[in-house]
């Protein structure tokens, strides 16, 4: 590692509403330039709130209650909306799950891309128009000049998501946050969009924070994986290492819960994780996963495990699984 700070650094971040139980509790991870980090977890684990906090877009009365978010070494979690507005676009941008709601239905696609360019970069209308066509070309939209005059409803879901991506990269940000960018799309289109994101990342040396619940997507595109559960990071490390040898019982449970093979050819019962994700105010003391964990013991109730290094990655568990013990200890 060199002395240059990571592109995005989230340090001890806690997010909550007033005095209520925090939604995100002291999480920590980084995203480097040119790196893809997959942020994984089930609904309610706090992954989207982490993304929104980074963008300075936390909804309602949710606030960053502790910790730091740094972009290129500079703290951004306490900046005014005015200052954040200058960062959103040129320094960081975000794409969302549902491209239809992310786009303005009464503006042409061209006008929406131009708006970003004239507002943030001060381009003239003609220059913005030319650059917008370039961006559509970059996102592999066929016949870009003709598409400029179309409205979102005239496009398919995949094309719309390409437009959203074109807008997101319009000001050449160094950090791109993608929150479930392919969840609303068909698998065939998902494959196209994932390929596109990967290509753009390489071409533009983007740091990509990819939020998803789909371990397959993470395996295919992420260099590193951060697994969240109930507001905490429970495991973190190199994607292949974590997915091949998960050390946290939750990660192992997520992998085991996915169907593999066919029941007609002897695939057995799915290894479900009993219960469901607790609401922030009902999270257990000690380890947040202990009430659903098959290997939990007394210490898990008394003391919250720390995120500690384990066989090449980090895990927050008093009894991390090792590759050898996995077969016997995964909840079945």
Nearest alpha carbon to residue 65 among 28, 29, 19: 19
Q: What DSSP string runs through 254-277?
A: HHHHS--S-GGGT-----PPSS-P
Looking at the Cβ atoms of 52 and 255, the one nearer to another protein is 255
Taking CA atoms, 160 is separated from 93, 100, 140, 174, 264, in Å, by 17, 7, 12, 22, 39
- Residue 19 dihedral angles phi and psi, to the nearest 5°: -95, 5
Kindly state whether residue 81 participates in binding another protein, applying the rule CB under 8 A.
no
Query: Tokens for 98?
Result: 């549902």
Query: Tokens for 61?
Result: 């009365």
User: Between residue 231 and residue 250, which ones bind another protein under the rule CB under 8 A?
Assistant: 239-240, 243
* Window 207-226: contact mask with another protein (x via CB under 8 A): ------xxxxx-xx------
Kindly state whether residue 70 participates in binding another protein, applying the rule CB under 8 A.
no
Kindly state whether residue 166 participates in binding another protein, applying the rule CB under 8 A.
no
Looking at the Cβ atoms of 258 and 303, the one nearer to another protein is 258
Contact indicator for 30, 5 with CB cutoff of 8 Å: no
Binds another protein (CB under 8 A): choice among 159, 210, 307, 317: 159
DSSP assigned state of 278: P
Kindly state whether residue 186 participates in binding another protein, applying the rule CB under 8 A.
yes
Looking at the Cβ atoms of 73 and 216, the one nearer to another protein is 216
Binds another protein (CB under 8 A): choice among 86, 125, 153, 263: 263
* Window 21-60: contact mask with another protein (x via CB under 8 A): ---------------------xx-----------------
Kindly state whether residue 143 participates in binding another protein, applying the rule CB under 8 A.
no
Beta strands in the chain (DSSP E): 8-17, 24-31, 36-40, 62-71, 74-75, 92-95, 175-179, 207-212, 224-229, 232-238, 307-310, 313-316
Looking at the Cβ atoms of 10 and 227, the one nearer to another protein is 227
Stretch that binds another protein, among 4-12, 172-180, 264-272, 322-330 (CB under 8 A): 264-272
Q: In sequence order, which ranges of 143-257 are alpha helices (DSSP H)?
A: 144-147, 157-168, 187-204, 215-221, 239-244, 249-257
Binds another protein (CB under 8 A): choice among 253, 286, 296, 305: 253
Looking at the Cβ atoms of 128 and 218, the one nearer to another protein is 218
Nearest alpha carbon to residue 140 among 185, 97, 96, 203: 203
What size, in residues, is the chain? Answer: 332
Contact indicator for 317, 287 with CB cutoff of 8 Å: yes
Stretch that binds another protein, among 11-19, 68-76, 184-192, 202-210 (CB under 8 A): 184-192
Kindly state whether residue 136 participates in binding another protein, applying the rule CB under 8 A.
no
Looking at the Cβ atoms of 38 and 56, the one nearer to another protein is 38
- Residue 314 dihedral angles phi and psi, to the nearest 5°: -110, 140
Kindly state whether residue 284 participates in binding another protein, applying the rule CB under 8 A.
no
Kindly state whether residue 109 participates in binding another protein, applying the rule CB under 8 A.
no
Kindly state whether residue 82 participates in binding another protein, applying the rule CB under 8 A.
no
* Residue whose token pair is 């533009």: 204
Stretch that binds another protein, among 10-18, 24-32, 89-97, 181-189 (CB under 8 A): 181-189
Query: Where along the sequence are the contacts to another protein (CB under 8 A)?
Result: 42-43, 142, 156-159, 186-192, 194-195, 213-217, 219-220, 239-240, 243, 253-255, 257-265, 267, 269-274, 276-277, 292
């Amino acid at each position: 590692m060199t002395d240059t700070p990571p592109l995005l650094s989230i340090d001890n971040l806690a997010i909550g509403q007033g005095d209520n139980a925090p939604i995100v509790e002291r999480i920590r991870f980084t995203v480097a330039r040119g790196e893809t980090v997959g942020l994984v977890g089930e609904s309610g684990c706090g992954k989207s709130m982490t993304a929104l906090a980074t963008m300075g877009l936390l909804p309602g009365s949710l606030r960053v209650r502790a910790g730091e978010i740094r972009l290129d070494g500079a703290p951004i979690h306490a900046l005014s909306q005015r200052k954040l507005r200058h960062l959103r676009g040129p320094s960081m941008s975000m794409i969302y799950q549902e491209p239809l709601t992310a786009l303005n239905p009464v503006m042409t696609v061209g006008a929406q891309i131009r708006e970003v360019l004239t507002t943030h970069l001060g381009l003239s209308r003609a220059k913005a128009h030319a650059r917008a066509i370039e961006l559509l070309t970059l996102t592999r939209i066929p016949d870009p000049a003709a598409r400029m005059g179309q409205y979102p409803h005239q496009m398919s879901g995949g094309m719309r998501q390409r437009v959203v991506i074109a807008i997101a990269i319009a000001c050449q940000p160094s950090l791109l946050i993608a929150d479930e960018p392919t969840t609303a799309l068909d698998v065939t289109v998902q494959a196209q969009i994932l390929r596109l994101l990967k290509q753009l990342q390489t071409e533009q040396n983007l740091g990509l924070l990819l939020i998803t619940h789909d371990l397959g997507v993470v395996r295919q595109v992420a260099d590193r994986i951060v697994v969240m559960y109930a507001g905490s990071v429970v495991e973190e490390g190199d994607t292949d290492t974590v997915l091949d040898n998960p050390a946290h019982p939750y990660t192992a449970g997520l992998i085991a819960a996915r169907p593999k093979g066919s029941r007609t050819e002897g695939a057995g019962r799915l290894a479900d994780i009993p219960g469901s994700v607790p609401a922030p105010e009902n999270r257990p003391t000690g380890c947040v996963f202990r009430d659903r964990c098959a290997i939990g013991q007394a210490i898990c109730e008394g003391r919250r495990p720390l995120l500690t290094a384990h066989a090449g990655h980090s895990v927050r568990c008093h009894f991390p699984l090792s590759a050898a013990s996995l077969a016997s200890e995964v909840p079945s």
